[in-house]
């Protein structure tokens, strides 16, 4: 029990320190007036390369990364390593796309992806669909961050939901006050702690376990002995397609999440974004190492903490490994890294969700003439509501399969790709075609997820994102990432729908962006006070 | 597309080089395809041997792809800025 006290004290001190930082952040790079979404929601749209690197890194590589990816590697082996190719593929993939998104948003003052769709396709309905998709995909993602904190607290012997509620109440308070400046400042601490902990872990733990070779050999032996067909330290014939489509589909989805875009839009010019596309893979290297902690846990014979339901909680594997391997004070530091690692993305996600509500629902449908200050006020309140929602998610849903929640969110957010991603390149799609494609993609995606069982917990439906091709009448055990297939359905229907609507001469919406907008940079003129509501 | 071109030629915004529309096209961009495709070719790395520092091929080669990604994006950034 003494051990837990040391861990807890270190954890609590670091947690308190960043909470203070969160409140102080309101005064950091202080604007004349924080009462607008450009200030509260995007930190003044003026972050340079370093701040953006910490902010976006802190945003994308979450507590989920720390806890769920190695837990998946621990349970399934090679398949869990998809997180690495996923984050290698994503940066070259979006290198040009994000620069365009930044430029057009800079010119028109967009704060959310739905703002862009509203202006590009002239359809309030399509924009609403994009906004709601973003909200629905983000909610479980915020909840996932709570799972990260909970896993750490459980390992320290603290049970019950009260500590999480307190942690989120503090987070909600300083996000309300400081907006995006809070996670931007805290990200420096979070990322530094994570780099220290992981580099220490990959040097110190293998030395104690007899080297990397022996770690992989022990993992191989464990998977060889297990009856599950899909595990192993390499892939098999049936899960390679799943591995590739999951990595590629997740890469396509990452920057469609509203919170990823928030970090991008907060940077001050195109160069900052492009430089970061080359520098952010440093986090991917870290992620690869984090994934391998799962194998170390196998080699060390780590046992997860038994949860309230009597089952072992796999999410506690990595905290338990730290507890087993590190001296108590350093385990406390590692736990704090995970805990703070949850706060940064949770803050950014709640800001992004709040901005979506304010810009694309409140301003579009409730108060067309809302002032900047009113928008900021609404966003601040909604960011509180969103956090309450996330806490409820955790209290009401089974947290053990947090990674699946995130995967479902990924399937959903991918359905915005034709409007948001392809929309940056072409206006060819008809707004009606895009809506039809979204409906088809969502239906297909949800149906596929419904068809996925999870033998590990006995669930018959929504057990993951690996869709068996046998469901389509193909005689095979191969699986594919449901989101990937759903996106294909979406694209086909959107294209066919566009042809049909054009043939029927159904009116398309106006496009208020121009070609030059997509290449504008810092200092170029902006369209002031773009009134999204005025163009009907 | 015509509408877009008209916009560009009208020069509705005053930008750097008058008369020449800005663009993000460049042959260097093709270099970005390499780090997108390589990590998706499982036949390249789906094996235990040869090992490097105890790491099976599956792990060390995929980690090495990060370097390819950083290299390609850095080159494209430098050559097109």
Q: Could you read off the pLDDT tens digit of each residue along chain A, which spans 536 residues?
A: 445 788 888 888 998 898 888 888 888 887 777 788 888 888 888 888 999 999 999 888 888 777 888 988 998 899 999 999 999 999 999 999 999 999 999 999 999 999 999 999 999 999 999 999 999 888 878 888 887 888 888 888 887 788 888 888 899 998 998 889 889 889 998 889 999 999 999 999 999 998 999 999 999 999 888 887 778 899 988 888 889 999 999 999 999 999 999 999 999 999 999 999 999 999 999 999 999 999 999 999 888 887 666 677 778 888 899 989 999 899 999 999 988 888 899 999 999 999 999 999 999 999 888 888 889 999 999 999 988 888 887 777 766 555 566 667 889 999 999 999 999 999 999 999 999 999 999 999 999 988 888 776 677 777 778 888 888 888 888 888 899 999 999 999 999 999 999 999 998 889 999 888 999 888 887 776 444 444 44
What six digits make up the tokens of A14?
């670091």
Kindly state whether A367 is in contact with chain B, defined as any CB-CB distance less than 8 angstroms: no
Burial tier of A355 (Cβ tally within 10 Å: 0-12, 13-18, 19+): buried
pLDDT of residue A308: 65
- DSSP letter for A523, please: T
Q: Which residues on chain A are in Cβ contact (under 8 Å) with B6?
A: none
Tell me the pLDDT tens digit for each residue of A140-163. 788 888 878 888 888 888 877 888
Q: Which residues on chain B are in Cβ contact (under 8 Å) with A250?
A: none
Q: Using an 8 Å Cβ cutoff, are B70 and A278 in contact?
A: yes
Q: Which residues on chain B are in Cβ contact (under 8 Å) with A98?
A: none
What six digits make up the tokens of A19?
């909470």
What six digits make up the tokens of A95?
């290198």
Alpha-carbon distance of B63 to B57, in angstroms, equals 10
Among all residues of chain B, which has the CA nearest to that of A288? Answer: B63
Q: Looking at the structure, give the CATH architecture of the domain made up of residues A2-402.
A: Up-down Bundle (1.20)
Among all residues of chain A, which has the CA nearest to that of B19? Answer: A516
Kindly state whether A192 is in contact with chain B, defined as any CB-CB distance less than 8 angstroms: no
Give A94 to chain B, closest Cα distance, Å.
10
- The domain segmentation of chain A, as residue ranges, is 2-402
CB atoms within 10 A of CB A337: 26
Cβ-based contacts under 8 A for chains A and B:
142
Kindly state whether A525 is in contact with chain B, defined as any CB-CB distance less than 8 angstroms: yes
Q: Which residues on chain B are in Cβ contact (under 8 Å) with A89?
A: 35-36, 39-40, 69
Q: Using an 8 Å Cβ cutoff, are A473 and A439 in contact?
A: no
């Amino acid at each position: 029990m003494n051990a837990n006290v040391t861990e807890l004290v270190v954890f609590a001190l670091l947690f308190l320190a960043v909470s203070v930082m969160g409140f102080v952040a309101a005064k950091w790079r202080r604007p004349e007036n924080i009462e607008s979404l450009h200030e509260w929601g995007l930190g003044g749209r003026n972050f340079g390369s370093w701040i953006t690197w910490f902010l976006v890194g802190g945003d994308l590589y979450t507590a989920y990364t720390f806890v769920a990816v190695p837990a998946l590697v621990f349970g399934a082996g090679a398949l869990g390593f998809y997180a690495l190719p996923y984050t290698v593929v994503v940066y070259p993939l979006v290198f040009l796309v994000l620069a365009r998104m930044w430029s057009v948003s800079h010119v028109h003052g967009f704060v959310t992806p739905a703002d862009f769709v509203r202006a590009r396709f002239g359809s309030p309905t399509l924009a609403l669909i994009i906004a709601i998709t973003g909200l629905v995909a983000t909610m479980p993602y915020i909840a996932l961050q709570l799972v990260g904190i909970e896993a750490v607290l459980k390992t320290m012997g603290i049970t019950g939901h009260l500590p999480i509620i307190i942690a989120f109440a503090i987070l909600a308070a300083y996000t309300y006050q400081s907006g995006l400046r809070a996670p931007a400042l805290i990200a420096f601490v979070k990322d530094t702690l994570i780099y220290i902990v992981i580099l220490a872990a990959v040097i110190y733990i293998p030395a104690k376990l007899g080297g990397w070779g022996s770690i992989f050999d022990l993992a191989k032996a464990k998977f060889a002995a297990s009856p599950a067909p899909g595990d192993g330290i390499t892939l098999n014939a049936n899960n390679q397609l799943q591995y590739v489509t999951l990595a590629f589909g997740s890469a396509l989805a990452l920057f469609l999440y509203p919170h990823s875009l928030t970090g991008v839009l907060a940077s001050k010019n195109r160069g900052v974004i492009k430089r970061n596309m080359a520098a952010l893979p440093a986090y991917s290297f870290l992620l690869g190492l984090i994934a391998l902690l799962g194998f170390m846990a196998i080699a060390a014979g780590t046992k997860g903490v038994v949860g309230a339901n009597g089952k072992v909680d796999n999410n506690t594997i990595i905290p338990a490994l730290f507890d087993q391997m590190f001296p108590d004070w350093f385990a406390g530091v590692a736990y704090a890294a995970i805990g703070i690692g949850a706060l940064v993305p949770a803050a950014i996600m709640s800001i992004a969700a709040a901005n979506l509500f304010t810009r694309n629902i409140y301003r579009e449908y409730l108060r067309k003439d809302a002032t900047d200050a009113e928008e900021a006020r609404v966003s601040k309140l909604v960011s509180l509501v969103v956090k309450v929602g996330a806490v409820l998610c955790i209290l009401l849903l089974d947290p053990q399969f947090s990674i699946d929640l995130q995967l479902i969110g990924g399937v959903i957010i991918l359905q915005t790709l034709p409007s948001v991603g392809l929309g940056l390149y072409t206006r060819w799609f008809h707004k009606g075609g895009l809506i039809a494609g979204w409906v088809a993609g969502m239906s297909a995606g949800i149906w596929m997820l419904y068809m996925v069982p999870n033998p590990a917990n006995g669930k018959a439906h929504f057990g993951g994102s690996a869709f068996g091709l046998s469901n389509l009448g193909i005689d095979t055990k191969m699986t594919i990432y449901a989101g990937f297939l759903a996106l294909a359905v979406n694209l086909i229907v959107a294209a066919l729908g566009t042809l049909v609507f054009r043939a029927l001469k159904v009116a398309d919406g106006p496009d208020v962006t121009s070609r030059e907008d997509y290449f504008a940079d810092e200092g170029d003129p902006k369209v002031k006070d773009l009134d999204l509501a005025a163009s009907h | 597309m015509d509408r877009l071109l008209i916009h560009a030629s009208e020069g509705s915004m005053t930008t750097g080089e008058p008369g020449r529309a800005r663009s993000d096209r460049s042959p260097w961009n093709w270099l970005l395809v390499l780090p997108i495709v390589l990590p998706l070719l499982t036949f390249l790395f789906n094996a235990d041997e040869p090992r490097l520092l105890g790491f099976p091929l599956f792990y060390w080669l995929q980690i090495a792809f990060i370097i390819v990604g950083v290299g390609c994006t850095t080159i494209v950034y430098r050559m097109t800025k």
